[in-house]
Chains A and B, each alone.
Chain A
Amino acid sequence: MKKISIFVFAALLLFMPGCGLLTLHPIFTPGELILDNRLQGKWKAGGGYTEFEPATKVAMDEIPEKLRPFVNKFYLCTRRSDDGSTGSRDLAFLVKIGNNYFIDMYPLQTEETKRLDEFFSSHELKMHTISKLEFTNRNIKLTGFKDNYVEDLIKNREVRIRHSFVSSPDESDKEKKIVITASTKELQAFLLKYGDRKEAYDNNEDHNTYRKIN
């Protein structure tokens, strides 16, 4: 048996690929939020369902205090597996930057994770997941950036966007993970520049296409 360290094991799982662009700050200010009736409803994608509903369905104490006056301007996004169990709940914020729509998803707790000790769960690193949204006939496409696309731009000094390196206690990972810490304005400028670059996005049609159910 080859034994590996628990710290290595954790680091291997940390920042798993497939998440697209993760940022500490939002890509919007409340005045920039938009609503689009085409988004609301239940969608089928991959191995489950995704539902966009008005955020007024979320308990007010789950919404960050300063966003509560704007609750009519964003959505609740719930992802469920085919058996109906809830996989994730997010607040979903829709904005238009340049010619493109983007969705900023911010995680909420599920019924299961609400039972976690509050101090314990306060250690979650809550980040905004950014995806490009396209409306096509009765479908929508939610497309994230390709894995490591932004990280590679940063490492190759092809883009200047504020970020932080993440260390692990064993400090063994020479290739340190990157967390994007850019401000809302910087993020918007970045999305304006890269919004139409097809090579930047994960173009897996099966994975990204959501078909309307009702």
Chain B
Amino acid sequence: MVLLLAMVTGLFSCINSLNPLITYGNVESFDAATGLWKDGDGTYIKIERFRNSSIEREFNMQTKAGDKNAKPPSEEETKLENNVYILSFNKNNIQHYMILSFARLNDHLFAQLEPLMARDESTKMNDAVPATQKKPAPVNLWDLGKDHTYSFAKVEMNNGQLQFIPLDEDYLEGLLDKGAVAIPFEKDDWFSTTLITASPDQLEKFFFKYGSDEKVFNKKHTLVLKPAAL
């Protein structure tokens, strides 16, 4: 449960953003992140390139049967698809898929996560079901394109371990409340929600400026992923 448990306990920033930091303009590949990883609780996390992933194959199958008049991918979309990764893990018998992308700003590597799909694997029939019986598709609990936000972390690779240093939620919220950082956000006290509404350009400037700030990216919250083998 590498990212998972850490995520659940809020170690990866809970202040999310309406807009992405990483776009086709600054996306970079980071193949050192690919592979199978494991957290302290033994949950496996798989990171693979979107290209040649099962998600890409499945998506191609879907679009094959879909809109025949759809435009082919633009140069920007192709660049993104060539450089983003699929992060997947299983929890509660649900297979979760997220899009993971990287960008280097001011010599720091940053990661961006957004949810892609979540499937209830328990709805699948096992392989012993006769071939004549049609297998039901797993139920999607999160569909592609559902309104979503983005989360970010600084990334470091140390001794073969992949480390995510998230935004320090409390510290950042304090800065936002005091107006100490010039970044647009929306806060709703009744529903206890804070959402960064900065544009990608404004986010890039923020990360460029605060990437080295150890109060904003507090190492005490570091999430460590260790290489794993099945």
Answer yes or no: are A and B bound together in one complex: yes
Contact with B along A104-116 (1 / 0, CB 8 A): 0010000011011
Q: Is the CB of A66 within 8 A of B144?
A: no
**Residue among A11, A15, A118 with the highest chain B CB neighbour number at 10 A:** A118
Q: Which residues of chain B are within 8 angstroms of A115 by Cβ–Cβ distance? A: 92-94, 120, 141
Q: Is the CB of B76 within 8 A of A118?
A: no
B188 close to A120 (CB less than 8 A): no
Given A112-B139, A169-B101, A171-B23, check contact A123 B148 (CB 8 Å). yes
Contact B147 A127 (CB under 8 A): yes
Is A100's CB within 8 Å of the partner chain B? no
* Residue pair A119, B146 in contact (C-beta under 8 Å): no
Q: Beta-carbon contacts of A89-114 to B below 8 Å, as 1s and 0s?
A: 00000000000000000100000110
* Chain B positions 17 through 43: 1 when the CB is less than 8 Å from some CB of chain A, otherwise 0: 011101111010000000000000000
Write the nearest CB–CB distance from A66 to chain B, whole angstroms. Answer: 5
Asked, given contacts A6-B59, A169-B101, A170-B24, whether A123 binds B16 with beta carbons under 8 Å apart, the answer is yes
Chain B residue numbers with a CB within 8 Å of A7 are: 77, 80-81
Q: Are B96 and A172 in contact (CB under 8 A)?
A: no
Least Cβ–Cβ distance between A35 and chain B, in angstroms: 18
- Contact between chains at B76 and A171 (CB < 8 Å): yes
Q: Is A20 an interface residue (CB 8 A)?
A: no
B147 contacts which chain A residues (CB < 8 A)? 14-15, 124-125, 127
> CB distance B200 to A120 under 8 Å?
no
Which of A24-32, A133-141, A189-197 sits within the interface?
A: A24-32
Interface size class of B (residues with CB under 8 A): 35 or more
> What residue of chain B has the Cβ atom nearest to residue A67's Cβ?
B190
Structural contact, B72 and A4, CB atoms closer than 8 A = yes
- Is B98 interfacial (CB-CB < 8 Å)? yes
**B134 → A minimal CB distance (Å):** 19
How distant is the Cα of A125 from the Cα of B20 in the complex, in angstroms?
13
| Contact between A124 and B190, CB atoms less than 8 A apart | no
Q: Is the CB of A119 within 8 A of B8?
A: yes
Q: In the complex the two chains form, what is the Cα distance from A165 to B148 in whole Å? A: 14
The answer to whether B81 and A5 have CB atoms under 8 Å apart is yes
One digit per residue, 1 when the CB lies within 8 angstroms of any chain A CB and 0 when it does not, for chain B 39-78 equals: 0000000000010000110011011101111111110111
* Distance, CA A8 to CA B59, complexed state (A): 12
User: Contacts A4-B67, A167-B199; is A67 near B191 (CB within 8 Å)?
Assistant: yes
Given contacts A8-B73, A113-B141, 15 further A-B contacts (CB under 8 A): A2-B70, A7-B81, A10-B145, A15-B147, A29-B190, A66-B192, A106-B191, A120-B118, A125-B18, A125-B195, A169-B22, A169-B23, A170-B23, A170-B24, A172-B76
- Interface pairs A-B: 9 shortest CB-CB: A13-B145, A119-B7, A5-B77, A5-B73, A125-B147, A4-B70, A115-B92, A10-B145, A164-B197
B: residues with CB less than 8 A from A are 3-4, 7-8, 10, 12, 14, 16, 18-20, 22-25, 27, 50, 55-56, 59-60, 62-64, 66-74, 76-78, 80-81, 89, 91-94, 96, 98, 101, 113-115, 118, 120, 139, 141-151, 184, 186, 188-193, 195, 197, 199-200
Selected A-B contacts with CB under 8 Å, 15 pairs:
A2-B67, A13-B144, A14-B145, A26-B190, A29-B190, A65-B192, A116-B92, A116-B118, A117-B92, A119-B10, A119-B12, A164-B186, A169-B24, A170-B74, A172-B76
